[in-house]
Structure 1
Amino acid sequence: MGLEMEPLLLAWSYFRHRKFQLCADLCMQMLEKSPYDQAAQILKARALNEGVYIEEIDVDQEGIAGMILNKNAQVPRPGTSLKLPGSNQTGGPSPAVRPITQAGIPITGFLRPSVQSGRPSTMEQAIRTPRTAYTAYPIASSSGRFFRLVMALFEYIFHHENDVKTAVDLAALSTEHSQYKDWWWKVQIGECYYRLGMYLEAEKQFKSALKQQEMVDTFLYLAKVYISLDQPVTALNLFKQGLDKFPGEETLLCGIARIYEEMNNISSTTEYHKEVLKQDNTQVEATACIGSNHFYSDQPEVALRFYRRFLQMGVYNSQLFNNLGICCFYAQQYDMTLTSFERALSLAENEEEVAEVWHILGHVAVGIGDTNLAHQCFRLGLVNSNKHAETYNNLAVLEMWKGHVKHMGDLQRSYTAAQKSEAAFPDHLGT
């Protein structure tokens, strides 16, 4: 007969294997039998947190205060704002025009959470409300076990319930209980203030925490505040101060590279990404961004080396082979071009990815002068995704090249569809 595992150990095993829902369910069963089992309480809270946890350092969603600041802000000087980036410093010819956002910022070679989530466009979208109510447990002692319970409770309220007001109240009481000597609680208060759009108050908390204990995450949080206040130069100086305390820290180097990238200073971006690779040559973001920069700097063969590194790292997806295919084409390695695109099509997980592959194949067809093949590729892309703005735009251009001016109705419909697609994706410009 097999031996049954202790329920708490089994729940912990589920947690270690990232089966968070199973862990939470088992903890709930234990709490039904023993409601005051503190180990089960903490483990359940951690499992629920991990199921919805998002790294707050990377996500940058603008709140109400940020929207008001942007609305009332004056036009800053070039090179001192993320809203008005400087001119491109790369220069030289390129195999394809680098796509940019409506703000003039080049599209990065790496999809970050802040880029993926986007910013709210209305006040209603900026307001966040808690999903459900929470049940607090009685506070009976001031031991180390009590502090662990309070920390777990705070993270549960903040991350899972998204009840920022209650979370900041709990953090304020805990800070007062620790006689304002616990830097961790000050950081949590700063996080709450930031999510509420109270950037100046968040800045005070993070600065106070840094005076007590210099931590990398605190530097990152404080820099995030300055970026939200559109003070990239201050954020850069802060990152460099952090590097003086933590030399070679790749998260700080990545932070500097991201700011330079949003300021359209591509040369400095590449410099710091190379510093990141000196510390960790498998860092995905730096590798992808350097590869993208080499491609748009008319060096597709160099970009190919960086994208092939992902294959050595075990990455195997449609986006990678799509990039490999277009790099092989511009590097005149035609024997690998179609093979890469075939792999990209076979690995595509949804219709949008299939449409993107056909879109790039259409560009390849244009490059070899076969406009009929390009037209078919773009049409196949629209069959899979009828909201692909760039494909609509390129189809319209092909019609103009063919001299089908008499079909202005079809041409107008193509541009109308492209405008509708751009309305769905306002931060991306078609090429």
Structure 2
Amino acid sequence: MDPMFLAYSYFRRRRFEDCATACGKLLEKNPYDQAAWALKMRALTEQVYVDEVENDEEGIAEMLMDDNVIASVSRPGTSLNTPATAQGPTSQAVRPVSQSGRPLSGVVRPGTQSGRPGTMEQALRTPRTAHTARPVTSASGRFVRLGTASMLSNPDGPFINLARLNFSKYASQQNVAKALFEYIFHHENDVKNALELAAMATQASQFKDWWWKVQLGKCYYRLGLFRDAEKQFRSALQQQETVDTISYLCKVYIRLDQPITTIDVFKRGLETFPGDTHLNTGIARIYEGLGDLNNAVKYYKEVLQNDNTNVEAIACLGTNHFYTDQPEIALRYYRRLLQMGVYNAELYNNLGLCCFYAQQYDMTLTCFERALSMASDELMADIWVNIAHVALGIGDTSLAYQVLKLALASNNDHAEAYNNLGVLEMNWSHIDQAKSCFLSAMQNGPHLFEPHYNFATLSEKIGDLQSSYKGVKKSLDIFPEHIDSKKLLEKLQEHFSML
């Protein structure tokens, strides 16, 4: 079998390591074989390729040193960095929020967990993104052209020495330039050289190739030059409208904290690509980040009308129905995920909660047992806390106390477990233990309003009105619409006015 044909066969079957090895043997025989050189570049690129549309997680450095946001104090409903304060399903008393102030989503996406990281440890967590495949074009013949000395591969060094590469020469060779750019951008992660090659290739194509403009925009985005990236993406869209380019442009506006503009771009994209799943999902995510869950549900349902196996839409709709007192309907969505082959601890945990609130008690403990058997160390504490809620629901406070202790044994920094444990201690008149639990919950969960309100209630009960006043004020700072906090504050103010 022809070695080059075998290498192409490996590539089509996504056996990229075997493809790179086969191309390396060809290059050992003929170092100027441009076809083998280009194919090896593509094979090496595909091994590390990550879809740039989804690979976007802001760390603590980007949040603290971002000079591209238009307004530091934005109007309500116009910023993704401002927590939602609307009543109804977005209320923190009904639906819990993340540390960034956003309502908890049905799935974990880049940007939903550490949009505003509270600690350096959270900022250092890397997002998990799946490798995506690209179609390979079939070649009917083998064309070998002699290259330059820069194509020589050194087995003891890097495959391509970028310092010796003549970018101006390769920029005019479109059949090699695109593979070379992706190799530099994804495999070598050298944005500076990738930007130089893309700029030369754009000039060589007389600014008529939209693909190179998109690559320029990706390089500018990586470098933090969002306005330059916006210009390139908009110019590319004028020549050729694609879903990926629309998604890249929306990423720019999200980093600039312009969600309304992002939604407008997505909707204009839907005029060209009606019913596209990615565009509808993008709109739903923005509305969810803004706390407008009614519109988010509308677009998630639109996604399911076009793709009834979309895991994200099913999970988010199930979450929304659960927090709007419809556990029976939420149970249908989660059962659908189970039928589709989604098999993890999070799903069984949600099934257990839905069964409990839907009064299907025979399945509740079975689902939680399955969730515990599959859970990782990070998730174990959350499942124990949910089991404690079930124990409290059936009136077994002793079991709830033991389960909360198990949650803290799994994760000693779990704020919700400390808060619930403090409530139990307070009901049993263990004042010092309750106060210690509430202080630990406030320290580990600064985004939660419940520990502050509970601490204020405890302080008011033992006569420490100053501490109670500080606690209820902090609770209202986090969640201004909490009615019980408002009542306690009015009571304290009335007491202070009488003194």
Q: TM-score range by the shorter chain?
A: 0.7 to 0.9
Cα RMSD (Å): 3.3
Matched residue type, 1:78: P
Q: 2:245 aligns with which of 218, 231, 234?
A: 218
Task: Map 1:273-422; keep pairs closer than 5 Å.
Answer: 273-348=300-375, 350-407=376-433, 411-412=435-436, 414-415=437-438, 418=441, 421-422=444-445
Pair 321,9 (structure 1): closer, same or farther in 2 beyond 3 Å: farther
Q: 2:214 aligns with which of 172, 187, 207?
A: 187
Contact 1:31 1:40 survives alignment (8 Å): yes
Is 1:159 aligned with 2:186? Answer: yes
Deviation at 1:400, TM superposition (A): 2.2
Whole-Å Cα distance in 1 between the matches of residues 195 and 169 of structure 2? 21
Whole-Å Cα distance in 1 between the matches of residues 114 and 187 of structure 2? 18
Whole-Å Cα distance in 2 between the matches of residues 352 and 23 of structure 1? 38
Contact 1:321 1:340 survives alignment (8 Å): yes
What does residue 176 of structure 2 align with? 149
Is 1:256 aligned with 2:283? Answer: yes
Task: Map 1:124-139; keep pairs closer than 5 Å.
Answer: 135-136=161-162
Matched residue type, 2:328: E
What does residue 110 of structure 1 align with? 107
Whole-Å Cα distance in 2 between the matches of residues 179 and 35 of structure 1? 32
Contact 2:167 2:200 survives alignment (8 Å): no
Which digits, 9 at most, give the CA deviation of each residue in 1:188-236, with x for residues without a partner?
1011111111111111101110111111111111111112111111111
Whole-Å Cα distance in 2 between the matches of residues 25 and 133 of structure 1? 12
What does residue 268 of structure 1 align with? 295
Whole-Å Cα distance in 1 between the matches of residues 412 and 84 of structure 2? 35
Deviation at 1:394, TM superposition (A): 2.5
**Partner SS state of residue 67, structure 2:** helix
What does residue 78 of structure 2 align with? 80
Pair 401,222 (structure 1): closer, same or farther in 2 beyond 3 Å: same
- Consecutive unaligned residues of structure 2, counting only runs of 5 or more, are 125-157, 452-499
Deviation at 1:35, TM superposition (A): 2.8
Pair 240,352 (structure 1): closer, same or farther in 2 beyond 3 Å: same
What does residue 177 of structure 1 align with? 204
Deviation at 1:28, TM superposition (A): 3.7
Deviation at 1:118, TM superposition (A): 5.0
Which digits, 9 at most, give the CA deviation of each residue in 1:240-295, with x for residues without a partner?
11111111111111111111111100000000100010001111111110000000
Contact 2:334 2:351 survives alignment (8 Å): yes
**Partner SS state of residue 111, structure 1:** coil
Matched residue type, 1:55: D
Deviation at 1:30, TM superposition (A): 4.2
- Consecutive unaligned residues of structure 1, counting only runs of 5 or more, are 127-131
Matched residue type, 2:37: Q
Q: 1:205 aligns with which of 211, 229, 232?
A: 232
Pair 223,429 (structure 1): closer, same or farther in 2 beyond 3 Å: farther
**Partner SS state of residue 114, structure 1:** coil
Contact 1:90 1:266 survives alignment (8 Å): no
Whole-Å Cα distance in 2 between the matches of residues 117 and 11 of structure 1? 42
**Partner SS state of residue 68, structure 1:** coil
Whole-Å Cα distance in 2 between the matches of residues 14 and 427 of structure 1? 51
Across the two proteins, how many residue pairs are aligned to each other?
Answer: 411
Whole-Å Cα distance in 2 between the matches of residues 110 and 347 of structure 1? 18
User: Once structures 1 and 2 are overlaid, which stretch shifts more, 297-306 or 14-23?
Assistant: 14-23
Pair 70,93 (structure 1): closer, same or farther in 2 beyond 3 Å: closer
TM-score under structure 2 normalisation?
0.74
Pair 367,152 (structure 1): closer, same or farther in 2 beyond 3 Å: same
TM-score under structure 1 normalisation?
0.84
What does residue 129 of structure 1 align with? none
User: Once structures 1 and 2 are overlaid, which stretch shifts more, 78-87 or 185-194?
Assistant: 78-87
Pair 358,70 (structure 1): closer, same or farther in 2 beyond 3 Å: farther
Whole-Å Cα distance in 2 between the matches of residues 154 and 227 of structure 1? 26
Percent of aligned pairs sharing the same letter: 55
**Partner SS state of residue 196, structure 2:** helix
Which digits, 9 at most, give the CA deviation of each residue in 1:28-62, with x for residues without a partner?
44434443333443333333333333222123344
Matched residue type, 1:114: G
Deviation at 1:315, TM superposition (A): 1.3
Whole-Å Cα distance in 2 between the matches of residues 195 and 167 of structure 1? 11
What does residue 50 of structure 1 align with? 46
Larger radius of gyration: 2
Pair 429,138 (structure 1): closer, same or farther in 2 beyond 3 Å: farther
**Partner SS state of residue 58, structure 1:** coil
RCO (CA 8 Å, sep 6+): is it higher in 1 or 2? 1
Deviation at 1:427, TM superposition (A): 7.4
